[in-house]
């Protein structure tokens, strides 16, 4: 169904935990993105990577730490999160940076207790 996969699909963590979200794209794309989808707000772009270099960081708190070891993998490391960080975290990729179409993964539903 998709060239972009995300694991885990569901994650429950306490505020003192450290966890990581993983995204993998099988489309040969060079750009990858993290989005946050909260219940009451539109999708928000968090980070953009192009060829493993971070090109955009939209004022995201430092408790979210992205990592892009290669053009196929993207991680979001989480530590000392707050309950308001509970949301659906979506990964996306595109052929290149500024390409017109992004392809999304299924998301990770994160709950912070």
Partner 1 sequence: AQTVTQSQPEMSVQEAETVTLSCTYDTSESDYYLFWYKQPPSRQMILVIRQEAYKQQNATENRFSVNFQKAAKSFSLKISDSQLGDAAMYFCAYRRLYNNDMRFGAGTRLTVKP
Q: Judged by CB under 8 A, which of 16, 41, 53, 62 binds partner 1?
A: 41
Q: Judged by CB under 8 A, which of 34, 36, 105, 110 binds partner 1?
A: 105
| Peptide bond just before 8 cis, omega within 30 deg | yes
Q: Judged by CB under 8 A, which of 33, 68, 74, 78 binds partner 1?
A: 33
Site for partner 1 in 71-90 (CB under 8 A): 88, 90
Pairing of strands 108-112, 10-13: parallel
Instruction: Check residue 55 for interaction with partner 1 (CB under 8 A).
Output: yes
Those residues with Cβ within 8 angstroms of residue 31's Cβ, 6 or more apart along the chain or in another chain: 48, 49, 50, 51, 93, 94, 95, 96, 97, 99
Those residues with Cβ within 8 angstroms of residue 86's Cβ, 6 or more apart along the chain or in another chain: 110, 111, 112
Instruction: Check residue 95 for interaction with partner 1 (CB under 8 A).
Output: no
Q: Which two tokens stand for residue 54?
A: 């971070």
CB of 95 to partner 1, least distance (A): 13
**Residues at the site binding partner 1, with contacts judged by CB under 8 A:** 1-2, 33, 41-43, 45, 48, 55-56, 58, 88, 90, 92, 97-98, 100-107, 109
């Amino acid at each position: 169904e998709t060239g972009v996969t995300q694991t885990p699909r569901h994650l429950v963590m306490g505020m003192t935990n450290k966890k990581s979200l993983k995204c993998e794209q099988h489309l040969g794309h060079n750009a990858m993105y993290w989005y946050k989808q909260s219940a009451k707000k539109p999708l928000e772009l968090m980070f953009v990577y192009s060829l493993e270099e971070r090109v955009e960081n939209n004022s995201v708190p430092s408790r979210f730490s992205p990592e892009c070891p290669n053009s196929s993998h993207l991680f979001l490391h989480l530590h000392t999160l707050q309950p308001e960080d509970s949301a659906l975290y979506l990964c996306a990729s595109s052929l290149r940076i500024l390409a017109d179409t992004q392809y999304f993964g299924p998301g990770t539903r994160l709950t912070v207790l």
